Amino acid sequence: MTPTAALIDPFTPFSVPFMGRPLLLLVALAIAAGTVGVLVNLRRLEFSTDGLTHAVFPGLVVGATLGGAAGLMPGAIGAAVVAAVVLALISRRGQPRDTAVAIVLTSFFSLGVVLVSGSGGATGSLSDFFFGRLLTITWADLGLSLALIGVAVLLVVLTARPQLYAAFDPAGARRAGLPVLVLEVVGTVAVALVVVAASASVGTLLALAVVIVPTAAARALTRSLAAAAVVAIAFGAATGWLGLWAVVQLAVLGVDVAPGATVALTMIVGYLAALAIGHLRGTSTRHSAIASSAGAAS
């Protein structure tokens, strides 16, 4: 293969394990985006998800301090559980949900920054935690992440129909006798599992991006719920692959970029493209509707 052909070859870079593992993880996260991400979108839990990603941050730092790279995941799980309990306690005290999330977000995030700065760099830099260590995840990390994502997806798929009802009409679902609080807890746990699975390897920033952006892009492209789930999965997988591919191409050109951030940026570019396509499509649909109604009138 010529150097030029190798440069634009979309598959070869992923045949080496250190590229194949991140790609596998991003595809799994795309499936999470098409299920858990859709639930987040429908229930408007974006801010809560943001709160959870920040809450996981000090857990990553503590995990790294105590156990190095192997401590990241247990640390993240511990922090997610503490954050979920604190969130529930603050909400039960009658605080609005956004207030509770804001308090958890800022307090946990500050704690994480203090821990990182206090460790004098021993636990890794801030950008490691923000953007993760996508290219250095091990098979063990990947296995644990896939297991967490699998449980999260299963929770959402099993409760999909009551979740849809509770998201569409929470008061109606309560009146119909559905266990709305239990559904809310199940949904939050699923989000937390995906956030943990993503944070330890792709960083807290990308964790938010992979849960939220694919569904937001899908909603811009399609009005159907089932289609949105499929498009979100395809979007997450395609932009994940494109982002990693861009990392490789930039490395060949001698530019060393943060892989997690590059993937996040690729998703955002894809989202903007989806918004533009959705807007153009909406405009042309409106024009054809006007043209057909004008034709019918004449």
The residues of the shown chain that bind other proteins, judged by CB under 8 A, are 42, 158-159, 161-162, 164-165, 167-169, 171-172, 174-178, 219, 223-225, 228
**In this structure, what is the dihedral angle of CA atoms 120, 123, 124, 130, given to the nearest 10 degrees?**
-110
Distance of closest approach, residue 173 Cβ to other proteins, in angstroms: 8
Nearer to other proteins, 6 or 158 (CB): 158
Nearer to other proteins, 85 or 290 (CB): 290
Nearer to other proteins, 13 or 37 (CB): 37
Distance of closest approach, residue 153 Cβ to other proteins, in angstroms: 15
User: Which residues, 6+ apart, have CB-to-CB distance to 75 below 8 Å?
Assistant: 59, 60, 61, 62, 63, 64, 66, 67
Nearer to other proteins, 109 or 165 (CB): 165
Question: Which segments of the chain does DSSP mark as H helices, in order?
Answer: 3-8, 17-32, 38-42, 46-67, 72-92, 97-118, 126-131, 139-158, 160-168, 170-175, 180-221, 225-252, 259-297
Distance of closest approach, residue 36 Cβ to other proteins, in angstroms: 17
Distance of closest approach, residue 181 Cβ to other proteins, in angstroms: 13
Nearer to other proteins, 174 or 279 (CB): 174
Q: How many residues does the chain have?
A: 298
Distance of closest approach, residue 39 Cβ to other proteins, in angstroms: 13
- Distance in angstroms (rounded) separating the CA atoms of residues 136 and 201: 8
Q: If residue 298 lies in a helix (H) or strand (E), which one and from where to where?
A: none
Nearer to other proteins, 110 or 224 (CB): 224
Query: Which residue has 């636990």 as its token pair?
Result: 123
Q: How far is CA 265 from CA 180, 191, 206, 246, 270, in A?
A: 36, 22, 9, 11, 9
Distance of closest approach, residue 165 Cβ to other proteins, in angstroms: 4
User: Which residues, 6+ apart, have CB-to-CB distance to 7 below 8 Å?
Assistant: 249, 252
DSSP state of 37: I
